[in-house]
Amino acid sequence: MQMRQIACNACGAEQFVPVSTVGDWTIGQCKACGLVFVNPAPYFDATDEFSEMSRAFEYTEYMHQPISPEILAFERQQLLANAQEVARLSGSDSRSERRMRFLDIGCGSGASIRAASDLGWEATGIDIDPQLIREGREQLQVDLRCVPILESGLPPGTFDFIKLRDVIEHLPNPLEVLVTVRELLAPHGVVLLVTPNEGSLATRARLILRRKRTLVATVPPPHHLHSFAPATLVRTLNRAQLRPSMTFTTTPSDGRYVTSHNVARAQAQPALGPLWRIGRTLGMGAVLVSWAVKS
């Protein structure tokens, strides 16, 4: 792991204003645009040490369980819904006989890649957690690669659809990654980002009640390093020369966009459901979704 000082990925400013310290980590905001991030930021390597660190945060522990038929069915349904948006935004025909070329960045143990392959797509998944990649390869027999996206060696202009679900908040360099995503997309290719919403009603309430900021995108650092609101996410996409086509917020139980694990967690907290629904109605939902197109 390397520690580096970083500029704001949304606007490029170097006006980082520290807000609080949690352990060894400094959380702050960009004075120019308000993006929340950790600075200096850690750059993790694709090693077993990273795998163990992820499990210690309990972020990936559930991913080490066998992937059930129910999870694969959930992933297939989500991908089919995603495919309709991809067809609409790219101007292509979803009934085309050409196979969808799909890349999942931060694929974990690869349930989405198995589901995509079952749908007849050409699917590749990448992640920097070697334990999850090994387990996914053994269980699912799909194309999973343990490599940072910047070092993937994937051919440019290849993919119709690239997905980063619960990924961008983990990155120390989201702009750099999105620039690479643009290079990997085919003409009129589509990218989908799903991330916690810094501007959510729940986050605002938590900050008021706790007063001191201790979380980044709902969890302590360094598990998450960036926390995007709609304006800062759109700004980052624009800097990467990706055209945002649709940005909105939703709830943690929205099966069109969140993982099956997060849907189950949300359903186990029914008392929070009204707050999440009110937030979504106000445009302040807990989950931020953005679709963008390579123009």
CATH number of residue 218's parent domain: 3.40.50.150
15 in any annotated domain: no
Domain count, the chain: 1
pLDDT exceeds cutoff 90 at 65: no
Q: Which of 91, 99, 1, 93 is nearest to 44 (CA)?
A: 1
pLDDT exceeds cutoff 90 at 55: no
pLDDT in tens, 19-33: 999 999 999 999 999
Helices (H), the chain: 48-56, 69-90, 111-118, 130-140, 174-184, 201-210, 230-239, 260-267, 273-281
Mean pLDDT of 179-205: 95
Please give the residue range of the domain that contains residue 155: 44-293
Among 19-23, 210-214, 240-244, name the one with the lowest average pLDDT.
Answer: 210-214
25 in any annotated domain: no
What pLDDT score does 54 carry?
86
18 in any annotated domain: no
2 in any annotated domain: no
What pLDDT score does 289 carry?
98
- Enter the tokens of residue 18: 């520290």
20 in any annotated domain: no
114 in any annotated domain: yes
Q: Which of 288, 109, 92, 153 is nearest to 101 (CA)?
A: 92
17 in any annotated domain: no
Mean pLDDT of 96-118: 91
78 in any annotated domain: yes
